[in-house]
């Protein structure tokens, strides 16, 4: 029983390593190999919200406004985000993503797609159907 669990552990760890490799290559392609997981998380939240203020981002990330401001400043310096004043109320600023920021925010999904592509290249149709059936059982 222990051998089977260890084999499964190693197989899943290898799959996650492949996905991490794909994710890192996407972030590196954007010219930001040193971006932190936290920064990517902020970019992902901004991307999901579309139009978001500093206050709302602080609320969603459960952090203070000064922390959000510092994180957004870093993203702006990395050319991943920019500020845009609200046309109706100049006191309000929205945080927007640049194309680079959007690519990084969506890197996880792109990495998953690259991982699946590698799996499809390595498995025949029968093996793919078997894998899909097995993964659908996991809850």
Q: How do residues 111-128 score in pLDDT, each as one tens digit?
A: 888 889 999 999 999 999
Residue with the larger pLDDT of the pair 46 and 112: 46
β-sheet with 93-97: strand ranges across: 52-53, 93-97, 81-85
pLDDT at site 32 = 76
Q: How many Cβ atoms are within 10 Å of 113's Cβ, its own excluded?
A: 12
How far apart are alpha carbons 79 and 92 in whole angstroms? 21
Asked if pLDDT for residue 1 goes beyond 80, the answer is: no
Q: How many Cβ atoms are within 10 Å of 100's Cβ, its own excluded?
A: 18
Q: How do residues 54-83 score in pLDDT, each as one tens digit?
A: 999 999 999 999 999 999 999 999 999 999
Architecture (CATH level 2) of domain 34-104: Orthogonal Bundle (1.10)
Q: How do residues 81-110 score in pLDDT, each as one tens digit?
A: 999 998 888 889 999 999 999 988 888 788
Ordered by start, the domain boundaries in the chain are 1-30+106-139, 34-104
């Amino acid at each position: 029983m222990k051998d089977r669990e260890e084999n499964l552990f190693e197989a899943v760890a290898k799959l996650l390593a492949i996905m991490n490799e794909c994710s890192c290559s996407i972030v590196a392609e954007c010219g930001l190999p040193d971006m932190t997981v936290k920064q990517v998380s902020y970019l992902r939240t901004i991307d999901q919200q579309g139009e978001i203020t500093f206050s709302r981002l602080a609320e969603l990330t459960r952090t203070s406004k000064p922390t959000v401001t510092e994180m957004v400043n870093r993203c702006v310096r990395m050319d991943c985000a920019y500020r845009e004043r609200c046309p109706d109320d100049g006191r309000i600023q929205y945080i927007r993503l640049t194309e680079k920021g959007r690519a990084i925010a969506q890197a996880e999904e792109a990495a998953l797609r690259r991982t699946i592509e590698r799996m499809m290249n390595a498995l025949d149709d029968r093996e793919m159907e078997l894998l899909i059936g097995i993964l659908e059982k996991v809850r």
